[in-house]
Chains A and B, each alone.
Chain A
Amino acid sequence: MLEKYMNEDKRMTAKEAIERFVSDGDSLVIGNCLYATPYALLHEVIRQGKKGLTVFQQGGIDELDQLLLGKCVSRLVLAYNFRVAGERIETTLERALRSGEVEIEDYSNYTLLTMLQAGAMGYPFLPVMNGIRDTDLFRVERIFKGQKFGEVECPFTGEKVVVVRGRNPDVAVVHVQRADRFGNAQLWGALINTKWACLASKRVIVSCEQLVDEDTIRRTPDLTVVPGFRVCAVVEEPWGAHPAEILGFYDYDMIFRTLFFMQTMTEEGGSAWMDEWVHGVEDRQAYLQHYADRFGMKYLSDLKARPYTSIPADYGATGRRAWDENDVSFNFQMTRGEFLEALEEKGGLTDG
């Protein structure tokens, strides 16, 4: 059974959230892809030395490399991972695969996310497009041997339909613009995989740029991508997606990412980067302080977003209650007293 996380105050630090809700051997899905990447939470996973994770990764830039450098991953279910280097330079992913520490299963974006969609809905499987049958994604299996794709007969047409299995990762980590203390999490901009990654997972850890009161959430409910009852931890973490971007707060940090790729061209460089930016800092605040010490605050503040606000959607209605200010019902055109009399007379009341 899926656990409900009811209205309790779930605010905590990233350290506490990862300690409590991520265990060695868990399957973990990164709940943002390309955009709003939850780096603060992932760095905490690495710092705490979590091991043997099965990682579902839709599409990454450098976050997966960091989990690999942290030796956290043993199985990788992957659709896309950015590569800058040419053939002669060995990437972090290639090193991890060649060493045998990590097994990989390749999917397309759609087939990977459909596994999570099926998982989120509690279905044993969902159809995907049959065209995948004509690729090696269908034919080559490593982690999910015999379980990577399946084929069923459509009960209505008799045609063969390719399906993927529903999967429920143990934990999703996700970063959003804002959340309340109960975990109602609001993300806007590129929504990519977030909803399905979170709803498929048994536990959801949310970090946010800004913690807001419940009224803010309740006035903009269409921005909520994960409801609080599915969220087990809320971490307020400004700059929690740096060097990725998040609309309304900051742009991506291209130079910082370039530095990462330059340094991780060698294994030693990669270790040095991790020592400096993950193991060498206690938390995200210390990371930001270190950033300011290294590069100056000006560079970071240059990344800050300028406002491009949405026009508030008016959720207004008449606001009419069952009884108006004179205690008259609009539907019955009678006072509350007259209504109670009618109930006495014709309502079939029972004594109890």
Chain B
Amino acid sequence: MVRYTESEIIVANAAREIEDNDIVVIGQGIPMAAGVLAKATHAPNCIILTEAGLVGIDPFRNPLHIADPTCSQGYDYSCDMIDVFATITHRGLVDVTFLGVGEIDRFGNMNSTVFGDYDDFRMRMMGAGGAPEFFGYARKAVLTMRGGRFVTKLDYCSSPGYLEGYGAREKAGFPPGSGPKVVYGTKGVFRFEEESCEIYLDGLFPGNAVEEVLAEVPWDLKVAPDLRKLPAPTQEEVDLIREFAPEISAGRKLQLELSIPRILQIIAGRSEG
């Protein structure tokens, strides 16, 4: 029997969104762990890049951010952010992009800028960053949502999903077939209906019930008739994730708890001479 954490099953499932020979744009955290896992298992020929201009990376440990030294020892092509967008992303060469979600609506439009009124906000998130263009021009966007929420109307639209629904995205000039394809939440996985472009619950992670998910969505969320129970990671996958990114395995809360002694040691100062 494989024993795994909440994050590990998400990473293992998200990794399966990457196929061999895909060009993949990735940010730090769960997406990076998923990318590295995919490359180490079923997609050895995928090319991972970050918008910092690092193309063909092979990080040796979980990076803090997309430009850090774990990503930049041994890579194929050193370019800059303009190159990554204009000559790779906008040309339709990105197969998969992973993005984090603050707020998402029924048609996969996404907010990562601000909660509440723009000027009289409740909270400022990290900002749009690379999301609008990756979301717009990658063949497939895979979203991860931890602490995010479903809303009927976004407070601010940072990145375009299927806009007002079926056909709107193509009409607006986005590449045919592009757009958000899947959302990895903490309880389950959501996909988009082809005919309506509306999001639906496609599968649950073990230990979660449909009702719990429905309670988090402020509309009558569609549920797949053959709701899947998402597969547990294999022992190989669990081992690979723990080898590369033990922090991700632990999850945010435990990670913080485990790093406190080290932090206290440093603050105490001069303890190591």
**Chain B proximity of A242: nearest CB distance (Å):** 14
- Whether a CB of chain A sits under 8 angstroms from the CB of B207 is no
A97, A113, A188, A195: which contacts B124 (Cβ < 8 A)?
A97
Which residues from chain A contact B259 at a C-beta distance below 8 Å?
A: 258
- Whether a CB of chain B sits under 8 angstroms from the CB of A109 is yes
- Whether a CB of chain B sits under 8 angstroms from the CB of A122 is no
B128 touches A245 (CB 8 A): no
Enumerate B30-55 residues with CB–CB distance to A below 8 Å.
Answer: 50-54
A191 touches B160 (CB 8 A): no
CB nearest neighbor in B for A130: B173
The answer for the CA separation of A255 and B86 in the assembled complex, in Å, is 36
The answer for the CA separation of A59 and B161 in the assembled complex, in Å, is 23
Which residues from chain B contact A132 at a C-beta distance below 8 Å?
A: 132-133, 136
A135 touches B158 (CB 8 A): yes
Which residues from chain A contact B73 at a C-beta distance below 8 Å?
A: 247, 308
A191 touches B53 (CB 8 A): yes
B50, B121, B128, B160: which contacts A80 (Cβ < 8 A)?
B128
Known interface pairs A35-B52, A106-B127, A131-B160. Does A192 touch B269 (Cβ–Cβ under 8 Å)?
no
The answer for the CA separation of A252 and B126 in the assembled complex, in Å, is 20
A94 touches B121 (CB 8 A): yes
The answer for the CA separation of A49 and B118 in the assembled complex, in Å, is 29
Stretch from A213-221, A269-277, A292-300 that touches the partner: A292-300
**Chain A proximity of B65: nearest CB distance (Å):** 5
- Whether a CB of chain A sits under 8 angstroms from the CB of B225 is no
B131 touches A108 (CB 8 A): yes
B158 touches A294 (CB 8 A): no
B51 touches A109 (CB 8 A): yes
- Whether a CB of chain A sits under 8 angstroms from the CB of B156 is yes
- Whether a CB of chain B sits under 8 angstroms from the CB of A93 is yes
B67 touches A136 (CB 8 A): no
**Chain A proximity of B249: nearest CB distance (Å):** 18
Interface size class, chain A = 35 or more
B54, B147, B159, B271: which contacts A135 (Cβ < 8 A)?
B159
Enumerate A301-317 residues with CB–CB distance to B below 8 Å.
Answer: 305, 308
Which residues from chain B contact A108 at a C-beta distance below 8 Å?
A: 128-133, 158
- Whether a CB of chain A sits under 8 angstroms from the CB of B243 is no
CB nearest neighbor in B for A195: B80
The answer for the CA separation of A261 and B51 in the assembled complex, in Å, is 25
B266 touches A35 (CB 8 A): no
**Chain A proximity of B118: nearest CB distance (Å):** 6
Interface flags, A100-120, vs B, CB<8A=1, else 0: 000000111111011001000
Which residues from chain B contact A254 at a C-beta distance below 8 Å?
A: 64
Which residues from chain B contact A117 at a C-beta distance below 8 Å?
A: 82
CB nearest neighbor in B for A292: B270
A196 touches B68 (CB 8 A): no
Binding site for A on B (CB under 8 A): 50-54, 64-69, 71-74, 78-82, 85-86, 90, 113, 115, 118, 121-133, 136-137, 147, 156-160, 163, 172-174, 259, 262-263, 266-267, 269-273
Binding site for B on A (CB under 8 A): 33-35, 58-59, 61, 78-83, 86-87, 91, 93-94, 97, 106-111, 113-114, 117, 129-137, 140, 188-196, 245, 247, 251-252, 254-255, 258-259, 293-299, 305, 308
A-B contacts, 12 of them at CB < 8 A, read: A58-B81, A86-B147, A87-B115, A108-B128, A131-B174, A136-B158, A137-B128, A190-B71, A192-B67, A298-B272, A299-B266, A305-B69
